[in-house]
Chains A and B, each alone.
Chain A
């Protein structure tokens, strides 16, 4: 491909990758350690685990996938997808939560 200008805009350095790698390793160890160290109920486990997973995901998307240094178009696209998933999950969660339970309307 052409246009060197594109690439000189945001050079990437190995050091960024390696620093992020250490962070990710740390988070992975946390993930593994949590159930062994503190025994939480399912809800809290999920919150802790998914919290760590999302942190890792953000690191990966921002640095390994260069979204941090990409144009705003890419950022917007990512936000859109995230929002879409939040809405979809919410709608499904509402159905899952109310279905066949006494909490449902008109019961």
Chain B
């Protein structure tokens, strides 16, 4: 491939025709690759904010007693941290950023089904984000309800709950639009010959996720609207003084928010399923099982929301049912882990940075997942509910599962997105720093939680001091590691060597085109009558050159 080829960084389609201004060319671009990068940058900016807020909280918890934040500010801080991390970072995270970039590339499509909708979704996302930020500076400041917005407190508190709720609603809308776009794309724009069971597994993860986005997000949307109406008009639906039932809000909230955690993890699992065969140089073990287990996790994961409510007054009967269903979700998840391990078995594994991240995640996510089973049992959870055990559990699952795999994906697709290579040595060192820091940060919290340290407190009894001290020091190490990692990636982007089309010898379609990809991705579209991960003797079986050429049939 020659160097004069134009990539999507040089030319683009915009919604209003041509713009001279570079910035306008970005923010009005309807190219899925540009939109994904815009998502990525806004998302990472908010990630940075939320991490800083978290570090401040950890600093406050370094020693017992009130140090420098008062209780109310602490409440607002964890709400801000939770809202940003969930609604602004991790829910759009993998689908809208990495997924948007890769879905058409992996399917052999030139864009998503509705490019304009894609742009609209980004605009809504930015708008929602601005609303959330604006509420920080108005009146009594950011909501202090926790990211769960439980009534009746969310109806009574004086802080800007309505703003936060509207922001969450709009962000939900953005996420729905992404979901619609992806399902339509996957159904309509697969390359000829690519049946559902010839799609890469990342696409399977995105497919399951998109369905959750479509079918679960509206439920929380309408319940948030009802809380808004409750605050502004007093319709009484969630207000116990008017006969309303706050537990109903909890139901409706978790009908979305529990599937939402599977919405986060499924594409992350998809990333793992891409990376494992590539660095084991082997076809993946149990392709069908992994694909179907994604759909199963999505389906069953929809029906377990009640396990967040064991202590909030739902009936004993439903507790039993939800507990049983929750244990059941572990089965398809276990299937995936089994398949990955079986793929790695007897392979000559190449421990490049993406693979390191993936294997590291196997450790942390297993801890997060198994502690999930502990809190899934009703009796134990009554004791552990609302302690740091739960906080540690979901940080292990979300941070140690989703975010780690997202980082794995960043490293894996970095050469495709930028066309450059990062420094392998520094990148793997950054992994070790983060991994150690992460475990230091959250493992002590399991213990503290087990001994009764409640969550959402700005203060604690002296006997918990040692755990909090270790955790806070871990948080510093973790933050250092993050800086190290992003600095390495930044240096790779600016000064790295050219990566070439297929640096990892991977098999899926996105590696058969130049890096960075050209405007409409593919010059010729291949006929896909093969499985996604076909290796023979450690080499990919199929090679294509699908770049856009001067005389390509398409434009």
Contacts and interface: CB of A to CB of B under 8 A. Distances in A.
B302 A84 contact: yes
A92 B305 CA distance: 11
A81 interface: yes
Contacts of B320: 105
A94 interface: yes
A17 interface: no
Contacts of B51: none
Given A84-B215, A91-B306, A92-B251, A98 B316 contact: yes
Contacts of B321: 91, 94
Contact of B255 (A88, A98, A99, A100): A88
Nearest to B188: A73
Contacts of A95: 251, 306, 314-315, 317-318
Interface size class of B (residues with CB under 8 A): 10 to 19
A99 B215 contact: no
A104 B315 contact: yes
Contacts of A22: none
A94 B303 contact: no
Contacts of B156: none
A57 interface: no
A83 to B, nearest CB: 10
Contacts of A81: 215
B553 interface: no
B494 interface: no
B318 A87 contact: no
Contacts of A73: 187
Contacts of B317: 94-95, 98, 104-105
B187 A91 contact: no
Interface string A33-76: 00000000000000000000000000000000000000001000
Contacts of B318: 91, 94-95, 98-99
Nearest to B247: A99
B313 interface: yes
A46 to B, nearest CB: 20
Contacts of A84: 215, 302
A106 interface: yes
A90 to B, nearest CB: 10
Nearest to B299: A84
A99 B303 contact: no
B303 A87 contact: yes
Contacts of B316: 98, 104-107
Contacts of A91: 303, 306, 318, 321
Nearest to A96: B315
A81 B214 CA distance: 11
A105 to B, nearest CB: 4
A3 B70 CA distance: 66
A51 B489 CA distance: 61
B219 to A, nearest CB: 9
Interface string B177-215: 000000000010000000000000000000000000001
B306 A99 contact: no
A1 to B, nearest CB: 13
B187 A94 contact: no
A53 to B, nearest CB: 20
Given A88-B255, A91-B303, A92-B251, A99 B187 contact: no
Interface of B: 187, 215, 251, 255, 302-303, 306, 313-318, 320-321
3 cross-chain pairs, A with B, having the tightest CB-CB distances, nearest first:
A98-B315, A95-B318, A105-B316
Interface of A: 73, 81, 84, 87-88, 91-92, 94-95, 97-101, 104-107
Given A84-B302, A99-B315, 6 more contacts: A91-B306, A94-B318, A95-B317, A97-B315, A98-B317, A100-B315
16 contacts: A81-B215, A84-B302, A88-B255, A88-B303, A91-B321, A94-B315, A94-B318, A95-B306, A95-B315, A95-B317, A99-B318, A104-B315, A104-B317, A105-B317, A105-B320, A106-B316
